[in-house]
Chain A
């Protein structure tokens, strides 16, 4: 039994993948706490899907795919905020418009690049191909996001719990929301390598939803969420190592859902 766990560790790609999972799983779960508590799951879906045209565009232009992904995600957040600032368009539909427009643009660009197969990893994730450069990008984004969440903890918590009181104290809830969207954009960039543009949102929502069932304070929610993400990530990696028919991204998301279901069934009623 122990052999089954230890044996893959002799492969460098597997160790890199585990490290990437720990970093981005923790990042996404901590950010996800606010995404879930503030009901921003749909916005986070839009941001993660909009990475597609960013990466494809950057590859066509010969730029760094991470840069393209970040720019596209920020563009989506700004676009949705701008559309929703006009009367007559709810934020929900503004996000829906941006999501579908960006994703369609991504598909059009992929046709332009004339090769769908190259982008399968982008859509569905390929954690086994994480290189040391990817690891560096993931590490830096994780550091920025976690540092941001730490220093702005009380402002983010206050603005998420009681927006009116936050503005009464001058804590700028609208600014906090914008900061959170930027952090979510950064976090999705860190995850896209692991689970792909289509499933990144799962890493934001599923672990944090587990955390909300188990935690009684925001840091507790984040800790439970990070634990769930790391557990699910490890499970998914081992699963796809021993059953190569299961793609790693899908395996990770499926394994994250297990702790959620367990918590859903057995967590004490709140």
Chain B
């Protein structure tokens, strides 16, 4: 009897899912980026709707595949700029295109990691499920995740988390969690990573793994990273310096060339 019921419900479920719009899971395709990842003209924005302007008249370009450091003192607007690019903060004036479109929510091509992610504490969630959330970008409403197991396994391995897949998320260390969130962005298929001081309060092993992932393994990501560490600016292709409400570019980007050489 129970076997009949379970077979029936599975069958009904498949019928229901075949009617619902299925969006195929799209694994990360390198170099889909249309040349310029981010271009800003006369961009002005504020952290809060009625707050003071964080930066004004910013004009800069970030080519695809370029690793960009965002530097400047505390309160210079680094976080606001990243949130603008992610579509979380509206702009006041000017123009900005991210991967050829105005910033908006609901895009799978870019991922944003806040400096302190606001995750609900003690939430019953295993690491694998956290990564699976990345696939939601490619699922419609009402659709349960059905795709992406290999992508998840690959992302776990690349960020050194393969042994922790079944661990509850709240038992992970800060560094493991940071790596997990980057892995989720990989599963999501993001091409542009917006990282807000990812190295703040990170243990050395986690830092090395993230470093290797972002800067060595021939990754095709476009990275925009707010950072305070003057020592590792040499690894970036381009440096955007934010000071007193202005943004200036310090370094030309060599684009894809040196990575594939």
Contact = CB atoms under 8 A, between A and B. Distances in A.
A168 B142 contact: no
A160 B133 CA distance: 12
A167 B120 contact: no
Nearest to A159: B120
A161 B130 CA distance: 9
A163 interface: yes
B144 A164 contact: no
Contact of B139 (A37, A154, A218): A154
B141 A168 contact: no
A113 interface: no
Secondary structure type dominating chain B contacts: loop
Contacts of A38: 120
Q: Which 10 A-B pairs rank lowest in CB-CB distance, beginning with the nearest?
A: A170-B106, A151-B142, A161-B123, A170-B105, A161-B120, A169-B137, A221-B124, A217-B124, A215-B124, A162-B119
Give the bracket for the number of chain A residues in contact with chain B.
20 to 34
Contacts of B139: 154
A155 interface: yes
A163 B118 contact: yes
A240 interface: no
A168 B87 contact: yes
Interface in B68-121: 86-88, 105-108, 111-112, 114, 117-120
A70 to B, nearest CB: 24
Contacts of A221: 124
A186 to B, nearest CB: 19
Contact of B122 (A163, A212, A220): A212
Interface centre among A154, A168, A170 (most CB of B within 10 A): A168
A164 B136 contact: no
A117 interface: no
B125 interface: yes
Interface of A: 37-38, 151-155, 157-158, 160-165, 167-171, 212, 215-218, 220-221, 270
Contact of A164 (B107, B114, B125, B168): B114
Interface of B: 86-88, 105-108, 111-112, 114, 117-120, 122-126, 129-130, 133, 136-137, 139, 141-145, 168, 170-171, 184, 188
A37 B120 contact: yes
Contacts of B184: 165
Contacts of A216: 124, 126, 168
9 contacts: A37-B120, A37-B122, A38-B120, A162-B118, A164-B112, A168-B87, A170-B107, A217-B125, A217-B129
Nearest to A153: B144
Contacts of A151: 142
Contacts of A171: 136
B88 A218 contact: no
B118 A164 contact: yes
A171 B137 CA distance: 9
A270 B114 contact: no
Given A152-B142, A154-B136, A170-B105, A218 B117 contact: no
Contact of A155 (B123, B137, B141): B141
Given A152-B142, A154-B145, A163-B118, A168 B112 contact: yes
Contacts of B118: 162-164
Contacts of B122: 37, 212, 270
Contacts of B133: 154, 158, 161-162, 165
Contacts of A168: 86-88, 105-106, 111-112
A129 to B, nearest CB: 34
A164 B111 CA distance: 11
Given A167-B88, A168-B105, A160 B123 contact: yes
B124 A220 contact: yes
B174 to A, nearest CB: 16
Interface centre among B117, B124, B125, B188 (most CB of A within 10 A): B124
A122 to B, nearest CB: 34
